Chains A and B, each alone.
Chain A
Amino acid sequence: DVKVTQSSRYLVKRTGEKVFLECVQDMDHENMFWYRQDPGLGLRLIYFSYDVKMKEKGDIPEGYSVSREKKERFSLILESASTNQTSMYLCASSPTIGEKLFFGSGTQLSVL
């Protein structure tokens, strides 16, 4: 059974902290994505990666960075967390263009 695993289900951080959100997939997928989900706004793409060490900005990359050192792992980094980054963060992967996305169960991040 395919699996996308996000390391934390709930996370509470303080303003200004550096935050790491980890995502691992076991399907050997080329493409990985980070979305944030906010009520009434749906899912918005933060960053995606189509190969190891390759990344592209999505619609809302400001305040975020990513790292993909290995194919199976895609990390989202909040350099200096702010309260407006309180949100649900969803990681996803897909094998190729046009194929469905496989999602992790999400990390609910609260920045106080």
Chain B
Amino acid sequence: AQSVTQLDSQVPVFEEAPVELRCNYSSSVSVYLFWYVQYPNQGLQLLLKYLSGSTLVKGINGFEAEFNKSQTSFHLRKPSVHISDTAEYFCAVPYASGTYKYIFGTGTRLKVLA
């Protein structure tokens, strides 16, 4: 079964600076990979997903992520953050190929400072 690791529980960054949120998963087989964002007092919404094809995936709000099979990583990046990007970010993968179930990382809280 899969596992997901988000090493950074909190990431403070100044407005307009770049940011990278790290996600590593356990399996070396091809998988689906997702990043979700949770704004304060809201549920989660999809930022982007990787299913197949190009390893660089672009999502909403200027975010992108790169699937790296050899390093089993799917790091999330944004070249210039805004105050409104302050939120918690979760990486997620299916438990196993063909399953309905997803496993989530423990989350990274991004705090954008003025």
- Is residue A48 within 8 Å, beta carbon to beta carbon, of the partner chain? yes
- Residues of A contacting B: mostly: strand
Q: How many angstroms between the C-alpha atoms of A41 and B6 in the bound complex?
A: 11
* A42 near B43: Cβ-Cβ < 8 Å: no
Q: How many angstroms between the C-alpha atoms of A43 and B101 in the bound complex?
A: 12
Which listed segment binds A: B12-20, B44-52, B61-69, B77-85?
B44-52
- Is residue A101 within 8 Å, beta carbon to beta carbon, of the partner chain? yes
Which residues in A have their C-beta under 8 angstroms from that of B90? 42-43
User: Which residue of chain A is the closest to B32 with respect to CB atoms?
Assistant: A98
* A42 near B104: Cβ-Cβ < 8 Å: yes
* A43 near B104: Cβ-Cβ < 8 Å: yes
* A98 near B101: Cβ-Cβ < 8 Å: no
> B residues near A, CB below 8 A?
6, 9, 32, 34, 36, 41-46, 49, 51, 90, 92, 94, 98-107
Which residues in A have their C-beta under 8 angstroms from that of B6? 42
Which residues in A have their C-beta under 8 angstroms from that of B92? 101
Given contacts A43-B90, A44-B104, A92-B44, 14 further A-B contacts (CB under 8 A): A33-B102, A41-B106, A42-B104, A42-B107, A58-B101, A97-B98, A98-B94, A101-B46, A101-B92, A103-B36, A103-B44, A105-B41, A105-B42, A106-B43
* A90 near B43: Cβ-Cβ < 8 Å: yes
Q: Which A60-87 residues have a C-beta within 8 angstroms of B?
A: none
* B43 near A105: Cβ-Cβ < 8 Å: yes
Q: How many angstroms between the C-alpha atoms of A77 and B5 in the bound complex?
A: 30
User: Which residue of chain B is the closest to A31 with respect to CB atoms?
Assistant: B100
Cβ-neighbour of B44 out of A40, A58, A90 (below 8 A): A90
* Nearest chain A CB to B20 CB, angstrom units: 19
Which residues in B have their C-beta under 8 angstroms from that of A52? none
Which residues in B have their C-beta under 8 angstroms from that of A31? 100
